Amino acid sequence: MPLFDHMDFDAHEQVIFCADADAGLRAIIAIHDTTLGPALGGCRMWPYASDAEALTDALRLSRGMTYKSAMAGLPLGGGKSVIIGNPRTGKSEALLRAMGRSVERAGGRYIVAEDSGTSVADMKVMAQETAHVSGIHDKATGDGGQRSGDPSPATAYGVFTGLKAAVRHRLGRTDLDGLTVAVQGVGNVGGHLARLLKDAGARLILADIDTPRVTVLARELGAEVTTVEGIFDAAADVFAPCALGSVLNDDTIPRLRCAVVAGAANNQLGRPHHGEEIRRRGILYAPDYVINAGGIIDIHHERTGYNPEKAIRHIEAIGPTLAEIFARADTEGQPTGAIADAMARERIGKRR
């Protein structure tokens, strides 16, 4: 399995292959860049078809985290970890503690948090083996209550903020009332986003591989339901991918019937050139690592002394950041993703 010649290897500082036979752990920690600070990123657990697929995911996700932190103005670098296994059937305390020990051996260069297939409870198990864990402490809410360390609501709110900025730029609308939004994936983040959209007056089309979950949510929100594959063909003003990555590719882009793509999923573009294909079709794409930064912003504020009002203001800055990206993309005639990459590299370069 090549590493240095891998198409997604981007001068990563460190790639750690982790194994514990007794616990059944097979995992990869990818540390992309620590110029701005320690590499913070979630731990994903997924039944990858091959070790090569897991490596690709870790490399791409960790690079995205570097750019995400840079664009969010955070003193953090980019990293990600993946555990190869089924989170429904393969998870155990022994496996999670073994992963915690692997994180500890990275010496603080990588800070782990929850991601697809893992939870706050899982992070608390890892915390028995390492101090380098975030997103596990209860936080104050603006109304005086408490919520768990789960960053999903913050991620969803950031996407909601960014989606409104994209609608304003592409459709000239300052509200979402009556607009149709197709949400692919209604898990922790997608579900929160759907509720925010409904409250804002949007009409919803929902899709998820978990049929009972999407059926219950659709009934609650009065939404239409379609299949995970069929949602690409749905007539909507906005397509919001909130599941796994690489959903915007040679097969799906020609089928899109929307003006805006703005969702929570990481690595939405199958390959970088798909950003140009989307632009050529007149669709405005909100770069994923910019619009979905609410979660890492929330975790950063947890690490530095949580103030809910300050965290919300920081998350709401996603909107103006996207507006700047959209304006530069229009002026330079470039895909929004390429502009965001360039801006992130500029910020990291200044620190170097």
The number of CA neighbours under 13 Å toward the Cβ of 201 is 8
For the chain, the distance separating the N- and C-terminal CA atoms, rounded to the nearest angstrom, is 32
Task: Out of 80, 91, 139, 164, pick the active-site residue.
Answer: 80
What is the rounded CA–CA span in Å between residue 75 and residue 78?
Answer: 10
Which long-range contacts (C-beta less than 8 Å, at least 24 apart) are formed by 276-280? 276/335, 276/338, 277/253, 278/248, 278/253, 278/335, 279/329, 279/334, 279/335, 279/336
Q: Is 80 a catalytic residue?
A: yes
What is the rounded CA–CA span in Å between residue 175 and residue 177?
Answer: 6
Contact between 322 and 170 under an 8 Å Cβ cutoff? The reply is no
Task: Output DSSP code: residue 133.
Answer: B
Q: Strand order of the sheet with strand 224-225?
A: 224-225, 203-207, 180-184, 238-241, 260-261, 284-285
Within a 10 A sphere around the Cβ of 271, how many other Cβ atoms? 13
Q: What string of H, E and C letters represents the secondary structure of 63-99?
A: HHHHHHHHHCCCCCEEEEEEEECCCCCCCCHHHHHHH
What is the rounded CA–CA span in Å between residue 229 and residue 99?
Answer: 34
Per DSSP bridges, beta strands 25-33 and 77-84 are antiparallel
3-state secondary structure of 146: strand
Six-digit token string for 341: 């990459």
**Hey, which residues are catalytic here?**
80
